[in-house]
Structure 1
Amino acid sequence: MKKNKSLFDKMVHVIVYWGKEIETFFFLATIICAICFPFVKVNYDLSKYLPHFAQTKQALDVMEDEFGYPGMARIMVKDVSLQEAKKIRQQISDLDGVDLVIGPDLTTDVYMGASFVNQGITDMMSVDAFSMEDYYHDGYALMDVIFENGDDSPLTREGVDAIYRIVGKDRGYFAGSAVSSKEREESITKEITMAIGMALVIIWLILTLTTTSWMEPFLFISVMIVAIILNMGSNLMFGTISFFTFSTAAILQLAVSMDYSIFLLHTFTAIKNTGVEIHDAMELAVKESCSSILASGATTIVGFIVIAFMRFTIGRDVGFVLTKGIICSLATVLFLMPTLILHFNDKIEKTAHKPFLPSFDRFAKLMNRIRKPVFVIAIFLAVPCYFGQNMNVFYYGDDAIGAGPGTRVYEDTRAINEEFGKSNMIIGIVPNGDLVKERQLTEALEDLDFVNNAMSMAGTVPKGIPESFLPDKVREQLRSERYARLLISLNTVQESRYAFDCSQKLEQVVREYYPEDAYVIGMTPTTIDIRDILTDDYNKVSLLSLAGVALVVFATFQSVLVPILVIIPIEVAIYLNMTLPYVMGDSMVYIGYIIVSCLQLGATIDYSILMTNNYLGFRKTMSNTDSAMAAISKSTLSILTSGGILTVVGYLLYFTSSIQAISQVGRLVGRGAVLSMVLVLSLLPALLSTFDKQIQKQQLRSARRKEKRRLRYGKVKIKGENDHEKV
């Protein structure tokens, strides 16, 4: 009697024999996703990812309802007369989308006569409101620009472009969140395109060295490009993704999922070389490799999906997109890749060549000789590095994602700060109703030694002049029906311990006058909230990532000890990777710290699983020492291929991105891949060999449990068959 095929067998048969239909489906899906990709919006504002319970988020919602969500810029013009500076300021004030310009003015008494009414509140912020030295000296003029809409609004971006034209880029210096956001958007697409292009070339070279056919690298890369397009185009379901996700998702997906297609092709080639017909060989290859590919994908998915549990919801953005990317990669490898291999099998065979890399037997012997020193060094470093990673200097907010040294925005910001001092704009929102209290608060804020100036309607309009005397457009800039707005300039950077202390002291002063229903908004208060939330997020996410990966490994090996041994080299590599910035005196972006910790665990744990599988396989016929050497020899090529690709991708991001957060994540990914490879090839075999007796006992117990389940299942099945016969 012919044995009935299982659902899985039927599915594999369809994959192998319905090649044209599958190719057509993926072709159409790729075209659709490529068309959708340009319509996916990218967000550059970290405050959008604050949870609703965060104080800054509540404050931003109130401000957006009452006054809008303003972008900000700081403009300095050199070699300019006071008269010309006033003209430039007026031109900027007249631009669509510009709400307020604070800067130099010629009027000696702005509160007198018709000029006050005609020029409005922008002239109220002038010589008598602030010191002339604050905004003009030695041929340099400074202007603080507040836009009507947010930094990433198209109207704000048009306003920044118009300011470039009015001032002239040759004699102007441009800083502030609106300028940074615009420059960031323009640079990201160019830099990521360049990084992916370079990555494809270098990955092709790596694959050429580690494969045995000139055609294979093109096949691998083509499948991954399809998976990337499917993932990036399908992001339209989210509407908007973060700049962080947009910058890293495609290139990281390329790096971490290349293994799946390599494993499938190598399995197929090995089966085909035994003389099996190619379609039958492919069916066997898919069946044999499917569990390993899915297990590998599961560990990576766990590393990514736990990021989505962050309360700072940029984690959800990154986690969902990268998880979807792995699912797309698994789908293309398990469904599209078999049809393409069969389609191009003749060309793969015709372009076959001898291996370029020699055997790794001598390398395995070297690793075996140094296993004891490596074991001791790892134990010596693990504990200090565990604590050392938390001693880094971390950055959390907009400064962390801003342009790095050498970029125009960075250098312009430094030039403005050197000429006029730092200006960190904070916005206070307080309830209407008590003009005396509002004026007193304004004066109290100006008395703070870290405040450059503070402005409010009650504190600026001269006594005796009613606010109703002013045009509606002027009043709306600093007062709504329910709230008054205060503009406060701090003499600090946006993010530092001193800036945090100053922001908190400022908020205390505001609370003294308005204990309830008052808000303080700005980059520094936002960064404080991000810091507090991210710090709590890390502990939760790291534990979830570790537990999730451990469960996947446990399910793979059916052992309690093996998951611990498999994870130890990767965790030590993570601790080393995150401690090195502290040792080298570098600062770290905390978002990158969280994401790379999870990514490194999820993406490189496969190296440990591969090594352990090979060790256990050889252990059936060899001693523990010989098994360790044989496992190293067999695993090295695959680990170097996968780890080399991840290293290249990471360092390409590091060298090509001008955005500090992206650049630093790239370096952490690249360095983490190198450390993981080194420790898996050296420390893990030492651990497996050292704990061999305990491993063998657990493997024996696991085998016995499997046999009992098989016998129990077999009895049930036989009984059912007998009952059927009786009927």
Structure 2
Amino acid sequence: MNEHEKPQIDFMHKLARQIVERRNLVFLFVILAAIFTVFSVRWVKVETDMTTYLPKTSETRMGLDIMDEQFTTYGSADVMVANITPAEADELSDRLTELKGVQMLDYDDTTDHYNKDAVSALYSITFDHPEDDDQCLEALDRVKEYLADYDIYVSTSLGNTQQETIDAEVRVIMVYVAVIIVIVLLLTSQTYAEVPVLILTFVVGMILNMGTNFMLGTISFVSNSVTNILQLALSLDYAIIFCNHFKEEYQTMPLKEAVIESLSKSIPEISSSSLTTVGGLVAMLFMQFRIGSDMAVCLIKSILFAMLSVFVVMPGLLMLFGPYMDKTRHRNFVPEIPFVGRFAWRTRKVIPVIFLVVILIGYHFSNLCPYAYGYDVIKVPKMNESLIADQMIEENFTKSNLVALVYPKNDDYSIEKKMLEELESYDEIDSTKGLSNIEAQDGYMLEDKLTARQFSEMADLDYEAAQMIYTAYAIENEEYGQVIGNFASYKVPLVDMFLYVCDEADTGIVSLSQEDLDDLHDARDQMESALAQLQGDDYNRVLIYLSPSLEPGRTTYEFTDTIRSIARKYYPDGELYMAGDATNEYDFQKSFAVDNVVVNVVSIFIVLLVLLFTFQSVGMPILLIVVIQGAIWINFSFPYFMGTNLYFMGYLIVSSIQMGANIDYAIVIATRFNELKDKMEHKQAMIETINFAFPTILTSGTIMTVSGLLIGRMTSDACIVGIGQCLGRGTIISILLVLFVLPQILLIGTRIVDRTSFAVPKLVARSSGKGRMRVNGIVQGEIHGSVAGTMNAIVDGDVQLTVISGNVSQELDDNEKQEVQNEDQ
């Protein structure tokens, strides 16, 4: 048994041996996990409402929580019917109202509901049940079924249509990504047999991750959609590192020992490599907008399962496919690129200066990036059925922009009425809706207080009967003083008296015809619906419809502050809350202002900390981070120059991923150059470094780029589109900077790296040679005799030295120097 074949007894080798010898047990576990995943993926709850992840202390989140608790929001849908005459539209309106589950239908012959030019009608339908009740979907299906022969477009938030659409799109993207991965691996691998090993390792990691998502309770639709794709792209390097170690060891060792040896080397190396990626993702845990922490947890979990798959499953796969690797070897399709190293050497004093100017420009214009906080201003490359319906309705009819205002309950609705009148005096407000301005009958509002005489005239009741009803109402509510001394002026809110009459009619105390009783019940349903939507136990709610002329963005956000200040005049005591698309986006903007700084600072700090321990130098981490941060600034200056809006989540997520994952490309080059720079001339060291790193960067970078671009081109959700586009573009920029800028920075910055190193001096290399040698540093050895100490000399003769610090290199003669000068020119 030679030296390589001797079994090792350290912990890593013991662990590796246990994993390899129990590979069949691992395979059994994987099969059981795959079966379990088939069921567990159905347990995952997906949240499609972005406002759920707003900070709990934000006004919108608190307002929504109160509205969920105290008010009923009925399911609704806007249904546009195209190619229909006004007469047909009127008739259809009556028929739709009679459908089971339809509580109310708004339609008239105004331009709000009928477009003569487009020959289209718009029906605003409210259903009998709350929007989270499945019976709303059943009622909507009845509407669609009734309109099956018409050309219709339905806009609604009911159901989980958005998630179903995204899931279908992601399944298609996954097929494309899988094909791309296979092609890339075939081109960058050295044997065909390693491709199924890598792919099966990815698949197992993905299955394990999907099968455990239910343990998180509820995850966002963003995390659910892109985690699997990003897991493949982010964790690809781990399997490649292990596979490369195995192929190297398998050349001199038996199969089983090669797997054990390569695994023992790969575990610490891969664990260390993952720290920067995880570090970048950890930054998202500190975001106020909690969708960041949701996605960070999902991605970190996916990386951990990818590592687990590499450490536990891949050894068994290598034992299965290892014997076929020698038989399926093919030529290397990835060319060496020595010209990049030579270019780096020639431009080492120019490119860093140009790069500094470019990143300053990128920093400036990335700060001008036109971020969007709502979907309305973002154009997506793919339109789904829901988006098409929204677009058709928006093009042909006036789109409402609704804001709900919640204020402490006050029985004096005259105050609410005055507030709504002042709000409606603003051009920015189209209309308002509250209990104080909903007309019941004959100009009376629901909350108007009426005497018995006024009620008898309005309801066409005998005055004596009205008196009896008012007396009974007062006695039931223990308002005896009103009956005895002040009955003529005793007033009761119309809605309260109306509901009281309904109850009395149902018990037979008030006698009505069946027709009047049916009308009374219909009216009661409408009133109870209004009360459920606008009156709570502790708060009341009014609905404010902003004018369509009020463009989305800063102007709208600022006007919500105006609404808030007006409401505060009328209700100075207690808390006021607003919720709606405008306020949601306003809170997104405010949280982004904080999260933007937090994500940048935390991601840079964590990655810097990891790199400090990796390189044991202050200078190297700074140089690497400058390159990747420059790539981020350049990436997010593109939307400004392209004139396209970017959904704000794209920056928060992609900047973290780009800093955490793309910096691995820079680490590969920096680590290799550090190893070679003291063994050969810096120019040759850089040429060798780039040739070594290019296959790894090409493989990982290509898959990351393609994954991002496919996500950005093949999905219809604006948030996911932004993430995909920025990730794909950012990876391309990072690769270009790592290959064509970082080498020059390392060449001129090597002195900074060495001088800021805090590593404990160690034996750097054993060096020997013949002929003319340059010796520079602290050495120990023989030069036609023994030598120990610090030298700076050119030695002619045999050299055998141990270099403690510094370097020993071959000195060129005059002819060789002339050849190098000719190459540089």
TM-score (norm 2): 0.77
- SS of 2:281's equivalent? helix
Q: Write out per-residue CA displacement over residues 433-473 of structure 1, whole angstroms, 9 at most, x where no aligned residue.
A: 11212222333333321222222222123325611315553
Q: Distance in 2 between matches of 1:704 and 1:563?
A: 19
Match of 2:234 among 256, 259, 276: 256
Quick check: 2:378–2:646 contact (8 Å CA) kept in 1? no
**Aligned CA distance change for structure 1 residues 4 and 582 (closer, same or farther; 3 Å):** closer
In structure 2, give the amino acid aligned to 1:613: T
Change (3 A) 1:188 1:512: same
* CA RMSD of superposed structures (Å): 2.7
Question: Residue deviations 1:587-643, cap 9 Å, x none?
Answer: 111111100000011111111111011101111311222212211111111111110
1:643 and 2:621 aligned: no
Shift of residue 308 of structure 1?
Answer: 1.7
Specify whether residues 363 and 381 from structure 1 end up closer, same or farther in structure 2 by C-alpha distance, changes over 3 A only.
closer
Distance in 2, matches of 1:487 and 1:567, equals 50
Instruction: State the Cα distance separating 1:212 from its structure 2 match.
Output: 1.3
Task: Tell me which of 160, 163, 187 is aligned to 1:185.
Answer: 163
Distance 1:98 1:385, change over 3 A: farther
**8 Å contact kept, 1:611–1:631:** yes
Residue 317 of structure 2 aligns with an amino acid whose one-letter code is L
Alpha carbons of structure 1 residues 164 and 3: separation in structure 2 relative to 1, 3 Å: closer
Instruction: Say yes or no: does 1:384 pair with 2:388.
Output: no
Deviation at 1:93, TM superposition (A): 5.3
Shift of 1:432: 3.8
Give the structure-1-normalised TM-score.
0.87
- Counterparts of 2:330 and 2:16 in 1: how far apart (Å)? 30
Q: Tell me if the contact between 1:71 and 1:147 (Cα under 8 Å) persists in the aligned partners.
A: yes
Gap regions ≥5 residues in structure 1: 106-131, 708-727
Q: Distance in 2 between matches of 1:603 and 1:150?
A: 44
Counterpart contact for 2:665–2:735, Cα < 8 Å: yes
Change (3 A) 1:402 1:643: same
User: Residue type of the partner of 2:246?
Assistant: F
Alignment match, 1:445? 423
Partner of 1:102: 106
Distance 1:34 1:299, change over 3 A: farther
Q: How does 1:264-343 map to 2 (within 5 A)?
A: 264-273=242-251, 275-343=252-320
Call closer, same or farther: CA 1:184–1:367 in 2, change over 3 Å: farther
Do the aligned partners of residues 372 and 162 (structure 1) sit closer, same or farther apart at CA in structure 2, a change above 3 Å counting?
farther
Q: Cα distance 1:507–1:438, how it changes in 2: closer, same or farther (>3 A)?
A: same
| Residue 392 of structure 1, CA deviation | 1.2
Q: Residues 188-226 of structure 1, C-alpha deviation per residue, up to 9 Å, x if partnerless?
A: 111100101110101110110000111222221111111
CA distance in 2, matches of 1:422, 1:521: 18
1:703 aligns with 760
Taking the aligned partners of 2:748 and 2:377, their CA distance within structure 1 comes to 44
Residues 624 and 90 of structure 1: is their aligned pair in 2 closer, same or farther, counting only changes over 3 Å?
Answer: farther
Query: Does residue 1:478 correspond to 2:478, yes or no?
Result: no
Partners of 2:276 and 2:663 within 8 A in 1? yes
Alignment of 1:115-514 (within 5 A): 132-138=110-116, 139-146=119-126, 154-168=134-148, 170-175=150-155, 178=157, 182-273=160-251, 275-399=252-376, 406-430=383-407, 431-461=409-439, 462-463=443-444, 464=450, 466-468=494-496, 469-470=498-499, 472-479=524-531, 480-482=535-537, 483-492=539-548, 495-514=552-571
Deviates more, 1:237-246 or 1:442-451: 442-451
> Contact between 1:67 and 1:477, CA under 8 Å: does it hold in 2?
no
CA distance in 2 between partners of 1:293 and 1:352 (Å): 25
1:332 CA drift (Å): 0.5
Match of 1:533 among 584, 591, 597: 591
User: 2:628 touches 2:659 (CA, 8 Å); kept in 1?
Assistant: yes
CA contact (8 A) 1:34 1:230 kept: no
Percent of paired sites with the same residue: 30
Task: State the secondary structure of the residue aligned to 1:230.
Answer: helix
Q: Distance in 2 between matches of 1:528 and 1:149?
A: 30
Partner letter of residue 15 of structure 2? M
Question: In the alignment, is residue 67 of structure 1 matched against residue 71 of structure 2?
Answer: yes
Is 1:625 paired with 2:605? Answer: no
CA change 1:143–1:427 in 2 (3 A) is: farther
**Secondary structure, aligned partner of 2:540:** strand
1:306/1:541 contact within 8 Å kept: yes
Tell me, what secondary structure is at the counterpart of 2:55? coil
1:120-141 CA-to-partner distances (Å, cap 9, x unmatched) read: xxxxxxxxxxxx4433353533
Greater Cα offset, 532-541 or 406-415: 406-415
In 2, Cα distance between equivalents of 1:188 and 1:195? 10
CA contact (8 A) 2:192 2:330 kept: yes
1:677 corresponds to which residue?
735
Larger Rg: 2
Partner of 1:9: 13
Distance 2:237 2:175 in 1: 19
Contact kept, 8 Å, 1:40 with 1:240, in 2: the verdict is: yes
Q: Report the alpha carbon displacement of residue 163 of structure 1 after superposing the two structures with TM.
A: 3.6
Is residue 25 from structure 1 mapped to residue 29 from structure 2 by the alignment? yes
1:588 aligns with 2:646: yes
Assess, with a 3 A threshold, how the Cα gap between structure 1 residues 51 and 182 changes in structure 2: closer, same or farther: same
Q: SS state of the match for residue 445, structure 1?
A: helix
Q: Counterpart in 2 of 1:44? A: 48
- Distance verdict in 2 for CA 1:443–1:386, change over 3 Å: same
Deviation per residue, 1:279-328 (Å, 9 max, x gap): 22222212222222111211111111221221111111101000000000
Compute the displacement of 1:28 (Å): 1.8
What residue is the counterpart of 1:718 in the other structure?
none
Of the candidates 54, 64, 77, which is equivalent to residue 58 of structure 2? 54
Say how many residue pairs are matched.
676
- SS of the residue 1:487 aligns to: strand
Asked if 1 retains the 8 angstrom alpha-carbon contact of 2:33 and 2:211, the reply is no
* C-alpha contact 1:85 1:104 (8 A) present in aligned 2: no
C-alpha spacing 1:501/1:146, structure 2 compared with 1 (3 Å): farther
SS in 2 for 1:144: strand
- Work out the CA distance in 2 between the residues paired with 1:268 and 1:3: 16
How far did 1:95 drift? 6.3
Give SS of 1:702's match. Answer: coil
* Contact 2:382/2:713 (<8 A) preserved: no
- Structure having the larger proportion of residues in helix: 1
- 3-state secondary structure, aligned to 1:241: strand
CA contact (8 A) 2:281 2:300 kept: yes
Alignment of 1:557-636 (within 5 A): 557-636=615-694
Report the 3-state secondary structure (helix = DSSP H, G, I; strand = E; otherwise coil) of the residue aligned with 2:79: strand
Q: Go from structure 1 to structure 2 and tell me whether the alpha carbon gap of 1:494 and 1:300 turns closer, same or farther (over 3 Å shift).
A: farther
Q: Retained in 1: the 8 A contact 2:190–2:332?
A: yes
| Residue 39 of structure 1: how far off its partner (Å) | 1.9
Query: Going by fraction, where is strand more abundant, 1 or 2?
Result: 2
Quote the Cα distance in structure 1 between the aligned partners of 2:306 and 2:688: 31
2:293 is matched by which residue type in structure 1? R
Distance 1:206 1:640 in 2: 9
